[in-house]
Amino acid sequence: MRVNTFMKAALAAVVLLCAGFHASAQSSARAASADEILFEVVTQDGVRVKMRDGVELVADIYRPRAQGKFPVLVERTPYDRRGEAGMARELAAHGYVVVLQDTRGRYESGGEFYPFKYEGQDGYDTVEWAAALDYADGRVGMFGGSYVGATQMLAAMAHPPHLLAIFPYVTASEYYDGWTYQSGALLQWFASSWTSILAEDTLRRKAGETARPKDWVAALPVESYPVLKPPAAADLAPYFQDWLRHERDDEYWRQWKISDHYGEMTVKGLHGGGWHDLFLKGSIKNYMGLRERGATAAVREGQRLIVGPWAHAPTSPEGKVGDVTFGKSAVLDMTGTALRWFDYALKGVQNEYATAPPVSLFVMGENVWRSEREFPLARTRYTKYFLHSSRGAATAAGDGSLSTNAPGEERPDEFVYDPADPVPTIGGRLCCGQALPPGPFDQRPNEGRRDVLVFSTPPLERETEVTGFVTVELYASTSAPDTDFTAMLVDVSPDGYARFLTDGVVRARYRDASTRAEKLVPGRVYKYTVDLWATSNLFRAGHRIRLYVSSSNFPRFDRNLNTGEPSSVSSRTGKAEQKVFHDAARASTLVLPVIPR
């Protein structure tokens, strides 16, 4: 069965990222010290592990060839366990038993795959099985990124007794907001591309399970050949339809809402996130939630956070993300990081995770790492930059400006949003595949559009650090019964290069809560809070802080059709006349977490 070029490239990217390669093009383990023993590694392939409902999952085991018992590290992946054999061998050589397992309904494991549904119970059963292996010492950790991070968080939510530590990288804290939707808008590119990647293996299984063409060819009638009668599209990804049916944050999503269960969790955690990653909010929230609400004092004190300039794709050896090179220090040695973390969390080694501050942040612009005691930083000065214009802020040729001076009497800015001609996504927080690469890219191609409002500071006289959560408080009206408003923060260098930093969206009918839709009155002015998540960036002297305001960022977010009808079932569109207010009574602002220097 042939796979199209997009799916091959996308699948390769996801396997590299989510099966353990993650942020780095270098996955070599830390160098062994002179007195450290490196073990020969024994492998056992295709081990079948029975779950509580009788379904058997398949795993490979890598362990030291030595007497004695060792801690176990488990990775449960939907992306083919065999893709992480190299990292597993290196971890095992350093004194760990490593279990790589295909999750339910993926590759060689039995059962039906449905995202998130079985990961809690299967994770619990796998951890407890691993802890009881003859050569295991009863201490178990889990590692991996993206959905592999979800398998850890959902297992931790089920709190198996022997799971002591996790290393979830670029993953979410819930699967409505920040995975499938953002402030009511569908993360359309991710939902569509990720589902397409998953569907490849599902199609193979549905068309003939583990059979091959030579096994199918004898079947009669000839028209029963599986490729001629593939499964219905709905059978390949029924969960995608469920996601569209549940566009509100309702009970469907709450059954897997990690953030509701921090108080029950009993694991130490190293939470890895990327400033350009589409799950950044969840990585930070998992750290903060467990740091504040973990089940015990030891659990709360056992949380660590590392955030680099990474996107949801491998980083080049030079530290290039998107089209920006941050330097070799930005490259994460994934295997070495995992070893040091689990040496501390499972073996009690007094390394940097025992002695250093719990938070490690990469400050972009300055391109340096910095340790912190907390996140957000206690010394943050939340500073309001007010939106201004006189002639109008549409396009970079307008006179839209940002300043800390409150506005007086100013006319609103106006633009027309047409869902048939949306503002195109250029980089940023994306996944998956090469068709739309993620990371920081130059946003100038969109600055000439009449439906993009551009607000900028003058060239900065002194450097300004922004580290933490970013929001936009927007006073706006629309002629439509429903619409979206988007915002994006960029760093503009003296040559005009506009580097993406962070972005956000709000769907108007979910302006107050994602749990309920509230109708708009066309023409009425509402206050919208646009959550731009977080960033860390040093704006150099001579650079400008710039904010774009619009109503689309497609296909990162699905288009609001402006009709009030769900975009999942409707194709009817309408134009919306948008007004953004920035006067004394309705002062629209960009709120930045400024760090004193």
Percentages of the chain per state (helix, strand, coil), in multiples of 5: 25, 30, 45
Phi, psi of 428 (to 5 degrees): 90, -145
- Two structure tokens written together for 294: 């973990």
For residue 1, give Cα distances in angstroms to 120, 159, 201, 212: 33, 40, 11, 9
**Is 277 tagged catalytic?**
yes
Residue 69 and residue 346 in contact, taking contact as beta carbons nearer than 8 Å: no
Cα gap 287→322, rounded to integer Å: 26
Radius of gyration of the chain (CA): 25
Residue 282 has which token pair?
Answer: 């969840």
Contact 417, 451 (CB under 8 A): yes
Placement of tokens 């569908």 in the chain: 186
Beta bridge partners of 473: 529, 589
Q: Which of 109, 146, 283, 552 is catalytic?
A: 146
Kindly name the residue from 312, 388, 543, 582 that is annotated as catalytic. 312
Count of CA atoms in the C-beta half-sphere (13 A) of 55: 19
Q: Which of 370, 273, 271, 274 minimizes the C-alpha distance to 322?
A: 274
3-class DSSP assignment, residue 287: helix
Structure tokens at 587: 């002062």
Q: How far apart are CA 162 and CA 136, in angstroms?
A: 11
Of the residues 177, 201, 277, 531, only one is catalytic, namely 277
Closest CA to 282 of 437, 150, 414: 150
Residues recorded for the chain = 597
Phi and psi angles of residue 344, each rounded to the nearest 5 degrees, phi first: -75, -50
Question: Is-catalytic flag, 582?
Answer: no
71 phi/psi in degrees, rounded to 5: -65, 155
CA 547, distance to chain mean position in Å, is 23
Instruction: Enumerate the active-site residues.
Output: 146, 277, 312
